[in-house]
Structure 1
Amino acid sequence: MPANKLIIMSRRALTLLLAGFLVLALGVVGAFRPVPYVVLSPGPTENTIGEVDKKPVISIKGHETYPTAGALSLVTVAYQGGPAAQIDLLTALRGWIDPTVAVVPQETIFAPDRDPKEVEQENSVEMTNSQDSATAAALNELKIPYGMTVSVVAAEKGKPAEGKLQKGDVINSVDGKPAGNVDIVSDTVKSHKAGENVVFNITRGKEKLDVTLQTVAGTEGQSVVGVTMTGAYKFPFDVDINVGDVGGPSAGLMFSLGILDKLTPGELTGGKKIAGTGTINPAGEVGPIGGIAQKMVGAKDSGATVFLTPADNCAEAMKAVPDGLRLVKADTLHNAVLALDALRTGKGSVPACAAG
């Protein structure tokens, strides 16, 4: 073969080799470039009738409690990524292959205009509110009365409350009606026509005062006085919940069940390992949550055989339920208790999730 042809072939081989090396190099570099996605995976579970770091998850003081057994576990979702620590393409690709995790756009977890620290703080507040709502729901289920304190957060500038109501004032009553919650106070003010007087009885420090304000028309046509309020529960005994760094409202149902189990004789679980999820409000209504697929995997990995599922998540859960995990539909705290009673005793029906 002529020398010039060998040279041409050698050049072509070298060119192909260099091109292949360049593609490989670019692929390697690209695989480690950050991408705006978040990987969601099964997080840790915590037994609400058990302990965390040698401390009870739920501590109750001032009321008789009873022994418990088994597990009523809350489930969580762990995430990897976010604006402050973006994952690389390789991590995202591994997530897309793994059926136990989900890879979602970063903005679904972190809104573009939100500081990640602000999101974490919000999750912490939601967890605190969830614990209060869970306690209220449990006490409502047991018909144990409790109260609520309504206090002033701020008085709006230019409105009747300015200079007359102060931050920290506790509102005892409005027009003689006990201030049971923020809605009662707000609705009482709205019941007046603009220009009418409304009388607030407040506690400021150690002094009780009557403050008369003249209502004005708000932006939606309803009467207002320009006060921002917040409510705090007044429970008849102390309920303290310790879950470490877990945030968000999705453990509400399991907190309520854990409180109920400790406040009532017998074992709600029948000694079984039960997990579940769902938000809850004081009326005991169970709301939907996110990450149901990952939470079910976490439940199964923890040894749970029954998973309490919010009714609105049932259809989604049926598509990804792990083998050996029984889905029980939970729309209210009361119905969840009835379902657990039926599971424990073998008497009565157990509401099951159905595919949508």
Structure 2
Amino acid sequence: MPRRTATLLASTLMLIALLCAGVLIPVPYAEMSPGPTVNTLGDHDGEPVLQISGRKTYPATGHLNMTTVRVTGPDYTMNLVEAVYGWLNHDNAVVPHKTLYPEGQTAEQADQENAEEFSQSQESAKVAALNQLHVPVATQTVVGSVVKDKPADGRLHAGDVITAVDGTAVKANTDVAKLVTRHKPGEKVVFTVIPAKDAAAAEKKGKRPTAGRKQISLTTEKADDGRAIVGIQAGVDHIFPFHIDVKLADVGGPSAGLMFSLGIVDKLTPGNMTGGRFVAGTGTIDDKGKVGPIGGISMKTVGAREKGAEFFLTPKENCAAAAKDTPAGLRLVKVDTIGDAVKAMEKIRNDDTQGLPSCSTSGRS
């Protein structure tokens, strides 16, 4: 066999061997890529994303799109070839697996965590939107979680409304721990509660729950720091004056909060917030309307622009990262609160975009 042919054959076989090895060699990475976007003013899978009843609503057109990032699952094993391809793909990001999934976290646990964050983001989005519209939202103290094998396990349940402890009315969730720790470990403490099922039935009607009230006596035990505890985390639940529901399956995490809030404000307000323009965005939101940063900002701007977005509402803390690689034709708009976002939308609607707060690589507008 001629030397040149032998060398070529050997090189080809070596390349094949390297490719096979790359496919077989697992690497501890995960991939993030642009995910789908959904118009909060429109329909998804045949039904409105935002469904409001018990309050007058108004037609809303244009786009207020929430954006997502598609990620490989916690059980997915990436090989070396896939990792290299991801690194070379401008629109994707390959990151250490533990960045997205803590060590030991199962797929079920990851899904549960994402679902809980998404549910909480919806709750905060509703509160922030109604606060922006000066619509009062009542609150009540509930059992947020119960610690396994502690005194409350099996006696109190997540969602139970706590109205009193030892006969003293509970006015804030912080009152619960204060009232329990007045006791010494081993003493009895009496909770007055309304079961979660009865509370949920009342809340569907927009009323504060009163039916089903009962008393439950628990024996406290000693915590590591010596305090008396029963093994619950008290939380806050909101009682909305009318029904607001978000119909969006297969989405997790908290990053759609801002766009849900704006969609709710638009539907409850005369006129058209978008002016028919295509606006997308992202950002967590808390009850007070503060917009928080999210992950995967560059992939969200890519996904938004691919769908036709002209403007992208960007959390203040994500501005510098987003500005480093903004897709052509997409204008970043910096927001820090829902109030900022509403003002920005007013400028966009009126085609007065010169004064819109923008993003820069330094984080300054």
Same fold by TM-score greater than 0.5: yes
Output aligned runs, 1:44-123, within 5 Å: 44-79=36-71, 81-123=72-114
Report sequence identity in percent: 43
Q: CA RMSD in A?
A: 3.1
Q: Which residue of 23, 26, 51 corresponds with 1:32? A: 23
Given that 2:31 and 2:95 are in contact with CA atoms closer than 8 Å, whether structure 1 keeps it comes out as yes
Given that 1:155 and 1:166 are in contact with CA atoms closer than 8 Å, whether structure 2 keeps it comes out as no
Go from structure 1 to structure 2 and tell me whether the alpha carbon gap of 1:56 and 1:286 turns closer, same or farther (over 3 Å shift). same
Given that 2:146 and 2:156 are in contact with CA atoms closer than 8 Å, whether structure 1 keeps it comes out as yes
Q: Which residue of 177, 180, 183 corresponds with 1:186? A: 177
Give, in angstroms, the shift of residue 230 of structure 1.
4.3
Q: Which residue of 354, 358, 361 corresponds with 1:355? A: 361
CA offsets, 1:276-320, max 9 Å, x none?
000111111111100000000111111111111011101111101
Go from structure 1 to structure 2 and tell me whether the alpha carbon gap of 1:162 and 1:107 turns closer, same or farther (over 3 Å shift). closer
State whether structure 2 residue 188 is matched by structure 1 residue 201: no
Q: Which residue of 143, 163, 167 corresponds with 2:134? A: 143
Given that 2:183 and 2:189 are in contact with CA atoms closer than 8 Å, whether structure 1 keeps it comes out as no
Structure 1 stretches of 5 or more lacking a match?
1-9
Deviates more, 1:114-123 or 1:307-316: 114-123
* Alignment-mate amino acid for residue 166 of structure 1: L
Partner of 1:340: 345
Give the aligned length: 343
Cα distance in structure 2, aligned partners of 1:154 and 1:100: 42
Cα distance in structure 1, aligned partners of 2:226 and 2:337: 36
Q: Which residue of 218, 236, 244 corresponds with 2:241? A: 236
**TM norm structure 2:** 0.82
Go from structure 1 to structure 2 and tell me whether the alpha carbon gap of 1:22 and 1:269 turns closer, same or farther (over 3 Å shift). same
**TM norm structure 1:** 0.84
Give, in angstroms, the shift of residue 208 of structure 1.
3.3
Cα distance in structure 2, aligned partners of 1:158 and 1:46: 42
Deviates more, 1:181-190 or 1:283-292: 181-190
SS in 2 for 1:270: coil
Structure 2 stretches of 5 or more lacking a match?
199-210
* Alignment-mate amino acid for residue 39 of structure 1: E
Output aligned runs, 1:207-218, within 5 Å: 207-209=212-214, 218=223
Greater Rg by CA: 1
* Alignment-mate amino acid for residue 156 of structure 2: Q
CA offsets, 1:186-205, max 9 Å, x none?
35556x58689976433357
Cα distance in structure 1, aligned partners of 2:216 and 2:20: 68
Cα distance in structure 2, aligned partners of 1:187 and 1:249: 30
Cα distance in structure 2, aligned partners of 1:211 and 1:110: 39
